[in-house]
Amino acid sequence: MKVIIIFGPPGSGKGTQAKLLAKQLNLIHFSTGEELRKEANKKTKLGKQINSLISQGNLVPDELSTQITQNFIFSNKKKNILLDGFPRTLKQAENLLTFFKKIGCDKILVINLKVSKKELINRILERAKIEHRKDDNKKTIKQRLKVYHNQTKPIIKFLRRNKIKIFNFNGKGNIEEIQKEITKKIKFD
C-alpha cells in the first residue's frame, strides 16, 4: 500500500486538491473532517459532542480521529490512499506511523500546502457564503488557525525526522495551476 498525506492549514485548499489528485493518481480520498461532519450531523450523544468541538474550532479527541482513519485505511489496505486532515497532532502522527509499519505501507509522501494567514481567512469567509459550514466564521477561524499552529504544524518536523519526504507547494493561485505543480513533482509508482 502507498499513501499520500495532504497537509496544510484550514483554507489552504487541501480538500480541493485532494479530490483532483485522487482522480488523477487513482487514489482513494479520505477526509477525516468530512467523516467527522457526517457523524456530527447525527443526533446521537457522540454526534453532539463532535458538533460542539468542531463548531468551536477545536479538534476531536485523538482516539476518535485515529480510530475512524485507521478503520478506513485497514479496510482499503490493498489500495493506495490519499489522507486529507490526518494526522493533525503529534500523537496522531505517531499512531499513524506505528500503524503503517504494522500493516506494511511501503511508501509515504507528504504534500504541504503553504498559504498566508490573511489569504486563509479571506478564503474561508468566501467559502462560508457557499457551503455554510458551522466552523467557517471569523471567531472559529481564529481558533482553527491557532490549533493548526500549535498542534498540527509541528508534525512536519516530526515526519522529517522519521525520513518521510515532504513536498512544499505554494497554495496561493489558480486551482489547476497548483494541481499541475503538484503532479509535476509527485510521482507515485
Interface with ligand ADP by CB under 6 A: which residues?
10-11, 14, 31-34, 36, 53-54, 57-60, 65, 85-86, 88, 92, 135, 144
Cα 61 to Cα 112, 117, 158, distances in angstroms: 23, 25, 20
Measured CA to CA, the distance from residue 70 to residue 54 in angstroms comes to: 20
Q: Where are the beta strands (DSSP E) in the chain?
A: 2-7, 28-31, 81-84, 107-114, 165-170
CB closest to ligand ADP, residue no: 33
To ligand ADP, the closest distance from the beta carbon of 126 in angstroms equals 13
The minimum distance between CB 60 and ligand ADP, in angstroms, equals 4
The residue (of 113 and 187) whose beta carbon lies closer to ligand ADP is: 113
CA dist., res. 143 & res. 40, Å (int): 19
Nearer to ligand ADP, 128 or 187 (CB): 128
User: CA-to-CA distance for 62 and 73, rounded, in angstroms?
Assistant: 16
Nearer to ligand ADP, 31 or 112 (CB): 31
What's the min distance (Å) between Cβ of 68 and ligand ADP?
9
Sign (positive/negative) of CA torsion 124, 129, 134, 139?
Answer: positive
Quick one: which of 40, 58, 59 has its CA closest to 49?
Answer: 40
In the complex with ligand ADP, the residue whose CB is nearer, 86 or 100, is 86
Measured from the CB of residue 186, what is the shortest distance to ligand ADP in angstroms?
20
Q: Which is nearer to ligand ADP, 32 or 112 (CB)?
A: 32
